[in-house]
Structure 1
Amino acid sequence: MDTNTAFLASPKENIDHRSLDAEACVALAQATSADIARLEAIRFRAIAQLARHRDGASSVVQEVAFALSVMDSHAGALVSTAKALTTRLPRTLDLMDRGLLAGAGAMKVAAATAWLSDDNARTADAVLEDRLVGRNTTQIRRAANYAATTIDREGASRRAERNRAGRRLRLRHGDTGVASIEVEDGPVEKVTAAYARIDREARALKAGGETRTLDQLRADVALDLLLGGQGGSRERSEVFLYMDLTTYLGLNEDPAELAGHGHIPAPLAREIATGANTVLRRIITDPLSGQVLDLGRERYRPTAGLDEFVRVRDRECRRPGCHRVAQACDLDHSVPWHFGGHTDVADLAAFCRRDHRLKDEPGWTYTLDPDGTLTITTPTGQSYDSKPPPLHEPRPATSPDDEPPSF
């Protein structure tokens, strides 16, 4: 047995990959992918069993998100796929057990057949059994959609109507300094017409001697139109940029933070902060912890001031892993009002509407410590901590006069 085939009979962790030729490397990658698929099948079964233990409670999604350190949207897809594989799609799950289908492909099948009845889903599962192996996720999605549509043609028509009714706008934060706005499930005729208009205006600008690329022009035209530009009236919108005064003055290059997005480089932060119509607000921080102590302003209504202080302090939804900006969140008591909670900064925290509701689910416990640390305990007894990040790195104790305020 030569080196290039011996590895198949050996534990993969003991293989010296440097001794393999190109063909053996491909074979090793394939064999490892098969093992991963089998392990993913085990994970799906565990998630499905958790859902059964909890009688299908909606908060199972949040618990999976915590436990696996994934976004809620992905956790929701994992839970729904786990339920489908263990009830309606046994042949698809069997392909995973045999190492022939990865978890990503199984999730495409589950999503494409989610709207079918149990009987129709099992029929689609049987039809797809011989059409999934060796296909990439796009091919799997198309095959599964076709199978589902042909099995229930009337249902497919109703689904198209529901899909169009479920249109929404989504904000996606990307790498440093960039984000995306996406119209999800918009009517195809309107989306196509909107793109044609954007493309037409971008090409007109390009013909006029613009140095920006067509892709850049399309993006800029779309944003200008959304903000009321291109001859329309502009609406002002607030974004919250957290940066140290010394960074603002160019005395250091510490990253700043854009609420809901994350950290951005100091030069970009200064560019944003010095833009037209920018308003600076003074925030007093504790030099030892970097936490917000006060907002610098002359007067305000107490209720409005408390609301704004908590939102500025928290920056985002306080549930770990949720990045909805605090200005779009609810303020809620960590200790419910009817159990003795107080409406003050020591008891209030920002939660998005979904996580606000999660807090009231049976078995979920929220505790807010004096230092601002929020501890969330799930129904299975797992605990997760959340604390507003400091506006700057904690510094050695200094006199108040030596501590510059943050903006």
Structure 2
Amino acid sequence: MDLGTDTRSDRTLLSDLSKGVKVRQASLVQEWVDIVAWANRNIVTTPELAATIVDGVIDTGVPIAGEGAPLVSEFNLMELIAVLGRSPDGGRAYVGRVIECAWRLPGIYASVLEGRLEPWRAERIADLTRPLNAEAAAFVDRQLAAVGGVGWAQLERLVTEAVIRFDPERAEAQRQAAADRRRVDFDDVDPNGQVESHSVLDAADAHDFDQALSRRAKLRGQLGDTDSFDVRRAKSVGEMARQDLGLDLLFADEETGEVMATSPGRKVELSVHITDTALNEDNPFANPVGRWDQGRTPISTAQIKEWLRARDTTVIVRPVIDLKHCVPVDSYEIPDRIRRRVELRDHQCRFPGCPHRASRCDLDHAQPYGQGGVTCPCNLVPLCRRHHRAKTFSKWRYVIVLPGHYLWTSPHGRHLLVGPDGTRALDPPRSPDPDE
């Protein structure tokens, strides 16, 4: 393709692009009109035939538009989505947004048809109003018609006001559900030994935490720390944590009941694989790279030394675990020592393509315990909660080929091999069994 033959001036190019935007906009508006006409022709009256948004592994569908909008045929919608050239999930959501606007947000829909509101902005509004009851959705529609265009933050506040005003029980349920989602997460460690953290906190707790970090960072600067203010805030997190750990001097082992004393400060538990010469700087053949299982990342021996040399650090050295060792226990409950072996062997959920850490997964008995399956590493497989449910409640199945290697069969007969090197598809889908 010759990229240098267009002789149009910049002025002409910009004019042509502007015309193209208007043509594309008009075409999309016409698409909305046609989708509404299609929806009018394909209304169904029974929920069993209606198109729904599917949530999770179990089919707990909700209609693709909000309360008061028509239900449309599930199977006819599949054909419409194919004509639109969209993915099944994306197309279902897109058509639902158009229906949401046409039936529950008439002011928004009119603005789209008249060219006063871009369709993508209307879709964003529809995503926010779909869970609302009819009164709340109508309130949002009226308010937007009265004030014209608003920013996204103002729009979200408007939706929140609508929920509190017209559906207070739902507002309280949402508040409680949001409170139940409070958490603090840590990502994988990067090659430089750093980790990103994300949290959802109560607003008052977050304010106090923010103030405490800033106060500590300022104090560190006054005491001579020359790092930037942001770095001093980050260092203060570890300082606060180690001070808290220093209060916990005694703990009881859950399995043995033995009470052990620990040193205050940092507790480091690293499953690090290094050679016997790795930490010897004078050895020219030393391998400077270790591997941290918990962080699932290569780390430099310099980083290992820095961690272990930190003040008030308790270092625990455990013997190497033989991952091939398999001694079952006579119970359904899984001891920590067996869980640890499985986690070190598999590292993550063993469903095809799933990246969830094994330490955050359920351990599934490949052969159910109630059917003679034993509780030992060779019969335990880490599966995250979502894929554990898929194996239990759907037609997804797997067999253990070798320790750490699993052959999965999908509901439509596709075979996928999951192992230490990832997931590999073995064959195309088989024809469905007419007897199933």
For normalisation by structure 1, the TM-score amounts to 0.60
Contact 2:408 2:416 in 1 (8 A): yes
Say which of 160, 180, 195 aligns to 2:196.
180
Deviations 1:6-45 (A, max 9, x none): xxxxxxxx794996969599879989x98xx99xx99xxx
Tell whether 2:117 aligns with 1:85: no
1:8-407 equivalences in 2 (<5 Å): 16=3, 56=54, 58-59=56-57, 85=97, 88=100, 100=118, 106=123, 110=127, 112-113=128-129, 115-117=131-133, 119-120=134-135, 122-123=137-138, 126=141, 139-140=151-152, 142-150=154-162, 152-153=164-165, 154=168, 157-158=171-172, 161-162=175-176, 165-173=179-187, 176=190, 177-184=193-200, 186-229=201-244, 232-233=247-248, 234=264, 239-245=269-275, 248-249=278-279, 251-254=286-289, 256-259=291-294, 261-267=295-301, 269-271=303-305, 274-275=308-309, 276-283=313-320, 292-293=323-324, 305-388=337-420
What's the Cα RMSD here? Answer: 5.3
Question: 2:83: which partner in 1?
Answer: none
CA offsets, 1:226-252, max 9 Å, x none? Answer: 343597554765654443426844723
Instruction: Specify every segment of 5 or more residues in structure 2 that has no aligned partner in the other structure, as ranges.
Output: 36-48, 60-88, 249-263, 327-333, 423-436
Q: For 2:351, what is the secondary structure of its paired residue?
A: coil
Contact 1:314–1:350 (8 Å) recurs in 2: yes
* Counterpart contact for 2:406–2:418, Cα < 8 Å: yes
Structure 2 contact 275–287 (Cα < 8 Å) conserved: no
CA–CA distance in structure 1, aligned partners of residues 240 and 16 of structure 2? 51
Distance (Å, rounded) in 1 between the aligned partners of 2:176 and 2:297: 38
- Judge conservation of contact 2:362–2:382 (CA < 8 Å) in 1: yes
* Counterparts in 2 of 1:328 and 1:152: CA distance versus 1, 3 Å: closer
How far did residue 360 of structure 1 move? 1.0
Q: SS of the counterpart of 2:132?
A: coil
Matched-pair contact (CA < 8 Å) for 1:334–1:348? yes
Whether the aligned pair in 2 keeps the contact of 1:96 and 1:102 (CA below 8 Å) is no
Q: Could you list the runs of 5+ residues in structure 1 that have no partner in the other structure?
A: 1-13, 43-50, 62-76, 286-291, 296-301, 391-407
| Alpha-carbon spacing, 1:321–1:134, altered in 2? closer, same or farther (3 Å) | farther
Hey, what's the Cα distance between the residues in 1 that align with 2:177 and 2:4? 48
Residues 151/380 of structure 1: CA separation in 2 closer, same or farther (3 Å cut): same
CA distance in 2 between counterparts of 1:337 and 1:180 reads 39
Counterpart-to-counterpart distance in 1, 2:372 and 2:178: 45
C-alpha separation in 2, matches of 1:145 and 1:189:
19
- Taking a change above 3 Å as real, the CA distance of residues 255 and 161 of structure 1, as seen in their structure-2 partners, is same
Superposed CA deviations along residues 282-334 of structure 1, whole A, max 9, x for unmatched, are: 5478xxxxxx4459xxxxxx965433321221223323454444334332212
Report the alpha carbon displacement of residue 203 of structure 1 after superposing the two structures with TM: 1.0
Aligned position for 1:65: none
Q: Percent of aligned pairs with the same residue?
A: 18
Partner of 2:430: none
C-alpha change, 1:124 and 1:229, in structure 2 (3 Å) is same
**Bigger relative CO (Cα 8 Å, ≥ 6 apart):** 1
Q: Deviations over 1:381-404 (max 9, x none)?
A: 5554432359xxxxxxxxxxxxxx
Code of the residue aligned with 1:243 in structure 2: it is H
CA distance in 1, matches of 2:353, 2:50: 24
TM superposition shift of 1:215: 0.9
Q: Structure 2 vs 1, CA of residues 306 and 150 (structure 1 numbering), >3 Å: closer, same or farther?
A: closer
> Matched residue of 1:332: which SS?
strand
Confirm or deny: 8 A CA contact 1:88 1:121 kept in the other structure. no
Greater CA deviation, 268-277 or 345-354?
268-277
Aligned residues: 332
Larger radius of gyration: 2
In structure 2, do the counterparts of structure 1 residues 160 and 53 end up closer, same or farther at CA, with 3 Å as the change threshold?
closer
1:206 Cα deviation after fit: 1.3
Q: Give me the TM-score of the superposition, normalised by structure 2.
A: 0.56
Contact preservation (8 Å) 2:58, 2:393? no
The answer to whether the 8 Å contact 1:241/1:269 transfers is no
SS of aligned partner of 1:252: coil
